[in-house]
Structure 1
Amino acid sequence: MTIPREILVVEDDTNLNRMLCDQLERLGHKTRGIGSIAALRETVTNGAPDLAFVDMNLPDGDGFAVMEALGGACPVIFLTAFGSVDHAVRAVRAGAADYLLKPVSRDKLEIALSKALTTMDMERHVRFLEDRTRKLQKQTVVGDSPGTAEMRRLIAVYAAADSPVLIRGEGGTGKEMIARTIHETGLRAEGRFVPVECETPDEARLDSELFGHERGAFAGAEERREGLIELAQGGTVYLNDIADLAPRLQAKLLRVMESGQFRRLGGAQTMTADVRIIAGTRRDLERLSIEGAFRSELFYRLNAFTLHVPPLRDRPGDIAALARHFISERSFLRDVDKRLAVDALHALMDYDWPGNVRELRNVVERALIMSGTDLDIRPDHLALPGTVSGGARGGIVLSYPDPPTMEQLRDDYIAQLLQRFDENRSLVAKAMGISERNLYRLLRKS
């Protein structure tokens, strides 16, 4: 099945222009024909095409001026009635996708078009892989507690559907892993899984990252760039901490979910997206929607299918299985098969895990290193914060040889809390009695 593309034909011969447009439309594409560079500049202000066929000799300039006006926003195939080796070499060096002699037969047109679009899609895929270097490994839900069994059941149910899913749970519980498992065992498993962090003070940057931008949309936007929603076509977008999504971006996301349509930042052209949305949150979206802090229509769209990930302290029966799973995962254990000593396992079971599964993974990985060549991992290798019994925590001690500044006290206090709570900013903010946004601002200052 041909994916319809937006193709621009820049040719001052009216009859040839119409013939090319007709042939391209019969191949299943959308076309627009214009006859000058001036018309091109007016056209691309509303969004660049996916590909352009360009006459080398136009009334107000040549094909190279057209390439400059497009700014690399799309592939260009040159058309000329005066072919020469020099022209072809110059066109390729300028970045042209191909070079066709007039009159252009339908077969040659179709071959050149197919080659250019295939190359464009491959380059887009490479950019995606470069931008998102996380490994797409098959995920498993480890543990046999009742809470984990219920999660496993809901994952199977939601994987068989294609509806939005809202995953609720504290930081570090594994919401992204759950989302990835739904994707990789679902209908869109052959597509991409694209995770996005919504917690950022830079709304314009997140807008560009999610929905893409046109050339000139903001300072430094020198070329058109597809957003993650475009790159995830046919796959799944996971939005972590969706409660932090700005209201304007909530409205754009809602439109994608309702109609599959959106516009790039700085663009007027309506784009289409075929993606599944899965969102994660550690906050109460229902309360936020009632208070007006989160768009209620978006909440209702997301809340139809929900999955709660219990904190690790509520499913202690999973701790041993998770710890052993993390031990077996490590590729650097070459000659020694590590195992947890009984007292180390008891220490893990007695700890309250404020950082949840993420903290457990970090503790195990640190213990693997600290245990060296020892076969058994002992309690001292775990180096759990504070005392183990009942999850009791030690106090905060800050010591300086000279009187510190307020900034030093602030930065060192936050650093100790981040270490104690395993980088869980939600718990750090709670301990400090401030909001996560205020904590984020403090971290930017430090």
Structure 2
Amino acid sequence: MSKGKTILLVEDDPAIAMIIRETLVGECAHFASVASIAERNAWLADNRPDLVISDVVLPDGDGIDSLPGAGVDANTPVIVLSAQNTLDTAVRATGIGSYDYLPKPFDLDELTASVRAALQRQAESAIRIDPGQADSHGLVGRAPAMQAVYRTIARLASNDLAVLILGESGTGKEVVARAIHATGLRRAGPFVAINMAAIPRELIEAELFGHERGAFTGAHSRNAGRFEQAAGGTLFLDEIGDMPLEAQTRLLRVLQSNEYSTVGGSQALRADVRVIAATHRDMRTLVADGRFREDLFYRLNVIPVTLPPLRDRRSDIAALVRHFVDAGRRSGLPDRQFAPAAMQWLERYDWPGNVRELGNVVQRLAVLSRDTVVTVRDVETVLHEGGGDGGAVEPATLIARAIDDWAREEMACAASDGAIHEKLEAIVEAALFRRVLRDVRGNQLEAARRLGINRNTLRKRLGQLDIDPAHP
């Protein structure tokens, strides 16, 4: 127990408040719980907590925005709890100097560990975030895999450490890099990006560090490199895994000394940048194969951020679709709605191109769909025309997933009578029979032949399933 310590909990959900109290009552000498901003302010008028745990959405306002000036000492650690699991919430929590941010539902062991650590040492200095920069950072989604990303970005706001963003192509690595820049200490400076895979190897050093007039054939004037252009801000080195070894050596020296010189120049210039690198490659494999310097890898990999592929955050697909539809509408594309079946199709697709591919597909659907409501046929057509078949889930896999979802819900239903096999057999048979009958224009003899069953058996099952062969 932390002797003499007082914890103030601000939580309007009685069940959650009770669970937290029972979990933490042994971690402090005094535990107080209030359910609103007004109750919190009244309690703070007469008491001084050693730790504040606060929800964001409270009956009378925002638990984050209302906390500064409420009487909490600047050095008092704050743990923010929120069901609004977005980067904006994490950044605002960091902006009030919170010690930690835990998205709901949270793990009680994680909460306890955070409380113990917070009570053992002072909270970090408050980080001032420009409210105008904290509205949106281009990141969409509340899946658990994204929550870890949000929390890491928020914790990077108070320092200038190098960051290495890892993830498959199309997962949004540059979006995350821009979010780190926009919430960090250098947000007033420029954000300069360079794709290492797109620069000819003989020009990489000139692109990074600039060159003097006459440094090489065609250098008719002095050009500032990306390090100089990004001075005071952030330099984003995309696809760092494709950087040639000779350029890696030069970059390592710059990161070690914070100085560089232009190609053909002799004057030492200060590298006044925060470096964020990104790659879709397996960096440890590149190091093991001798294609990437180990010392440079560790120099860049101070804070790793790993982005999940879209197939691992399918619950975010609907929100991402809405985001892309809204963005398209603002740029002049037609507004679109998605039929439930079409959205389910998108959520079951494996998206080898990740978020980038989804955004492209939504834009094409906005242009090519004939109606305001996008159908399954629209989605299938656009993906086929766009060469997306390679990422499509096999029909058998889609059927298996659908059966898995249906069976899970059926077994969880209190009214389930246990006849799951019979129910599923009827559903599958009815869909199959209707499909075949439509293809053969109601010809039962041909339908039976294609199905591989006796015509009398087909006729009997059609009657049991109440299917009119003329109008399936």
Measured against the shorter chain, the TM-score band is 0.5 to 0.7
**8 A contact 2:351–2:391 mirrored in 1:** no
Counterpart for residue 263 of structure 1: 261
**8 A contact 1:347–1:388 mirrored in 2:** no
- The AA in structure 2 aligned to 1:356 is N
Counterpart for residue 380 of structure 1: 377
Q: Distance in 2 between matches of 1:282 and 1:357?
A: 14
Verify: 1:390 aligned to 2:388, yes or no: no
**8 A contact 2:163–2:300 mirrored in 1:** yes
Counterpart for residue 140 of structure 1: 138
**8 A contact 1:250–1:295 mirrored in 2:** yes
Task: Name which one, 1 or 2, has greater alpha-carbon Rg.
Answer: 2
Counterpart for residue 239 of structure 2: 241
Question: Sequence identity, in percent?
Answer: 45
Counterpart for residue 360 of structure 2: 362
Counterpart for residue 155 of structure 2: 157
Counterpart for residue 346 of structure 1: 344
Q: Secondary structure at the match of 1:280?
A: strand
Q: Secondary structure at the match of 2:275?
A: strand
Q: Distance in 2 between matches of 1:332 and 1:279?
A: 31
Tell me how far 1:314 sits from its aligned partner. Answer: 1.1
In the alignment, structure 2 segments of 5+ residues that lack a partner are 1-134, 397-472
Q: Distance in 2 between matches of 1:232 and 1:266?
A: 20
Q: Distance in 2 between matches of 1:339 and 1:176?
A: 28
**8 A contact 1:145–1:317 mirrored in 2:** yes
**8 A contact 1:198–1:240 mirrored in 2:** yes
- Aligned-residue CA RMSD in angstroms? 2.2
Q: Cα deviations across residues 128-186 of structure 1 (Å, max 9, x unaligned)?
A: xxxxxxxxx96332111110111111111123221000000011111010001000111
Q: Distance in 1 between matches of 2:362 and 2:264?
A: 47
Counterpart for residue 220 of structure 1: 218
Counterpart for residue 329 of structure 1: 327
Structure 2 matches for 1:94-109, cutoff 5 A?
Answer: none
Q: In the alignment, which of 161, 167, 172 is matched to residue 170 of structure 2?
A: 172
**8 A contact 2:335–2:366 mirrored in 1:** no
Tell me how far 1:371 sits from its aligned partner. Answer: 1.9
Q: Secondary structure at the match of 1:215?
A: coil
- The AA in structure 1 aligned to 2:178 is R
Q: Distance in 1 between matches of 2:395 and 2:364?
A: 21
Q: Distance in 2 between matches of 1:200 and 1:280?
A: 14
| Inter-CA distance 388–243: structure 2 relative to 1 (3 Å threshold) | closer
Counterpart for residue 315 of structure 1: 313
Counterpart for residue 292 of structure 1: 290
Q: Cα deviations across residues 205-246 of structure 1 (Å, max 9, x unaligned)?
A: 221111100111111101111101101000001111101111
- The AA in structure 2 aligned to 1:302 is L
Q: Secondary structure at the match of 1:264?
A: coil
Q: Distance in 2 between matches of 1:165 and 1:266?
A: 30
Q: Cα deviations across residues 67-88 of structure 1 (Å, max 9, x unaligned)?
A: xxxxxxxxxxxxxxxxxxxxxx
- The AA in structure 1 aligned to 2:274 is R
| Inter-CA distance 379–253: structure 2 relative to 1 (3 Å threshold) | same
Higher relative contact order (CA 8 A, sep 6+): 1
Q: Distance in 1 between matches of 2:391 and 2:280?
A: 26
Q: Distance in 1 between matches of 2:174 and 2:228?
A: 20
Tell me how far 1:332 sits from its aligned partner. Answer: 5.2
**8 A contact 2:324–2:363 mirrored in 1:** yes
Q: Secondary structure at the match of 2:147?
A: helix
Q: Distance in 2 between matches of 1:366 and 1:260?
A: 45
Q: Distance in 2 between matches of 1:238 and 1:315?
A: 25
Q: Secondary structure at the match of 2:285?
A: helix
Q: Distance in 1 between matches of 2:271 and 2:148?
A: 32
Q: Distance in 2 between matches of 1:333 and 1:288?
A: 41
| Inter-CA distance 361–166: structure 2 relative to 1 (3 Å threshold) | same
Counterpart for residue 185 of structure 1: 183
Tell me how far 1:200 sits from its aligned partner. Answer: 4.0
Q: Secondary structure at the match of 2:193?
A: strand
Q: Distance in 1 between matches of 2:290 and 2:141?
A: 38
Q: Distance in 2 between matches of 1:204 and 1:266?
A: 14
Say how many residue pairs are matched: 256
Q: Distance in 2 between matches of 1:335 and 1:250?
A: 43
Q: Secondary structure at the match of 2:265?
A: coil
Q: Distance in 2 between matches of 1:320 and 1:175?
A: 20
| Inter-CA distance 339–277: structure 2 relative to 1 (3 Å threshold) | same
In the alignment, structure 1 segments of 5+ residues that lack a partner are 1-136, 394-446
Q: Secondary structure at the match of 2:389?
A: coil
Q: Secondary structure at the match of 2:204?
A: helix
Counterpart for residue 437 of structure 1: none
Q: Distance in 1 between matches of 2:177 and 2:392?
A: 34
**8 A contact 1:320–1:345 mirrored in 2:** yes
Question: TM-score scaled to structure 2, two decimals?
Answer: 0.52
